[in-house]
Structure 1
Amino acid sequence: MSNRQKKALFCVCGALSFACVLGAAVAVGSPQWVKGSILCHTGAELVNATDSELEQFVGRVAYGLFHGQRLRQCGLGGRPLRFSFFPDLMGVIPMGLHVSVLLFCALLVVFSSVTSAFCLYNAFGSPYETLHGPLGLYLWNLISCLCGSLAMILFASEVKVHRLSEKIANFNERSFVYKTQAEQFDRSFWIILFVFLTHAVNILLVRLAGIQFPFQEAKEPELSTGASDLMY
């Protein structure tokens, strides 16, 4: 592959990585990670509500990593409330797990920025066969993929295993018990998945440019008469 084609591919990788930076940053601050419906279980049992009457006892909840809102209904109209994870829910949610999700999301933004910079450096600079060259292109994309996957796995565990929506719905509630009727991941969660897939595509584009995977082949050492060889 010619140098011009390699530069074009590296520019595409850099642009995709920069889009990942913007997408991940927007997703972290957005309250659209999970949306669902919550049932006022106590109120529905008190009046022995049937299927048609259950709608008066079904509220909504939507939240992100920092804040969200809920609407609780127990047959007497909705009670909307906005909340923040810090400091409102610090004693309710699995704090260590939630902070880990925030940490990996922050690392995803950082390493996506590093990936974008290194792709553009390889396109317009003169990289050497170290972390500035092909090894760096694979390494930073791989780390970004790892951060994105861990953020999604830990957040899914927090929502599904630790029943985060129910804990939010029952926060500061003494008279009624709420249960999650339905919940699904919202657009911000899928943006993180898109970022993960984009970095995986970047790895394939780097391979398409003719850059061998690190340590793919054990080559015999060649004699060198000067400085390190340029990548191209």
Structure 2
Amino acid sequence: MPRRQKQLLFSVSGVLAFSCALTAAVVTGLPRWLRGTVLCRTGAELVNATGPELEQFLGELSCGLFHGQMVKQCGLGGRPSRFSFFPDLLGAVPAGLHVAVIFFCGVVVLFSSVASGFFFFNAFGRPYEMLQGPAGLYLWTFICCVSSFLVLVLFSCEVKLHRLSEQISNFKEENFVFQTFRDDYGCCFWLFFLVFLLHGLNVLLIRLVAVQFPFQQNKDVALSGGASDLMY
């Protein structure tokens, strides 16, 4: 592949990797990973609420990886409150799983930055073979892909299997029992999914750099043939 096209592809990959690092760093701290609706089951059962009456017992919850806020509805008006996972909710949520999500978010930020630097180094520098060359680009990008995938899977397990919104709602609640009515992933979750897709795209761009197109080979053969004719 011509050097300018190689520089262009690696530069695009470097920009994408840097964008992934910046996006992952920002969304990790935002409280928009989960939007949930929780039902005050105790209040709804007391008045046997159904249909439109049930809306008076539906509260809202939005949270991220570090903090969030919620409004509890038990038929007597909303009770807004804020919470943080550290150190308040460590005893209520699956702490190991939650810390693992944050850890892999940090891995994505770190190795996306590393991959971005190596993409630009391959575009404008003279990389060695080994980890500075294509093998290194595959390695750093593969680590980012796996880590971002694990973030999505582990957070989904925390929400669906461990009922994160329900555990948060019932934390230090003595008079009422809440249960999950609906859970929706927030924009931060889908931005992390985009990070995963962009790293997958970078893998394809690395592979594309190594492709030898037929018209380029023909052109090289024609040039070499002309040179040999001049020599003889």
Do they superpose with TM above 0.5? Answer: yes
Partner residue of 1:166? Answer: 166
CA drift at 1:172: 1.0
Find out whether 1:66 has 2:60 as its counterpart. Answer: no
Partner residue of 1:208? Answer: 208
Structure 1: how far apart are the matches of 2:147 and 2:40? Answer: 37
Partner residue of 2:192? Answer: 192
Paired residues of 1:20 and 1:195 also in contact (CA < 8 A):
yes
Superposed CA offset, 1:142-171 (max 9, x none): 000011001111111111101111000111
Alignment of 1:83-232 (within 5 A): 83-210=83-210
CA drift at 1:211: 6.1
Structure 1: how far apart are the matches of 2:173 and 2:51? Answer: 25
Paired residues of 1:134 and 1:211 also in contact (CA < 8 A):
no
> What CA RMSD, in Å, does the superposition of the two structures yield over aligned residues?
1.0
Structure 2: how far apart are the matches of 1:150 and 1:50? Answer: 39
CA drift at 1:174: 0.5
Task: Give the unaligned 5+ runs of structure 1.
Answer: 213-232
Find out whether 1:41 has 2:41 as its counterpart. Answer: yes
Find out whether 1:28 has 2:1 as its counterpart. Answer: no
CA drift at 1:210: 1.4
Structure 2: how far apart are the matches of 1:22 and 1:114? Answer: 12
Describe the SS at the equivalent of 1:82: strand
Describe the SS at the equivalent of 1:79: strand
Describe the SS at the equivalent of 1:131: helix
Find out whether 1:80 has 2:80 as its counterpart. Answer: yes
Query: Percent identity over the alignment?
Result: 57
Structure 2: how far apart are the matches of 1:72 and 1:159? Answer: 19
Structure 1: how far apart are the matches of 2:200 and 2:90? Answer: 35
Q: Which entry has the higher C-alpha Rg, 1 or 2? A: 2
Superposed CA offset, 1:44-85 (max 9, x none): 000111211111110000101000001000000000000000
Q: Structure 2: which amino acid aligns with 1:151?
A: V
Structure 2: how far apart are the matches of 1:128 and 1:50? Answer: 69
Structure 2: how far apart are the matches of 1:156 and 1:27? Answer: 16
TM-score normalised to structure 1 length:
0.90
Describe the SS at the equivalent of 1:173: coil
Describe the SS at the equivalent of 1:145: helix
Partner residue of 1:230? Answer: none
CA drift at 1:200: 0.5
Structure 2: how far apart are the matches of 1:45 and 1:211? Answer: 66
Superposed CA offset, 1:186-209 (max 9, x none): 110111111111010001011111
Superposed CA offset, 1:105-134 (max 9, x none): 000000000010000000111011110001
Structure 1: how far apart are the matches of 2:2 and 2:210? Answer: 10
**Number of aligned residues:** 212
Q: Structure 2: which amino acid aligns with 1:195?
A: V
Larger helix proportion of the pair: 2
Task: Give the unaligned 5+ runs of structure 2.
Answer: 213-232
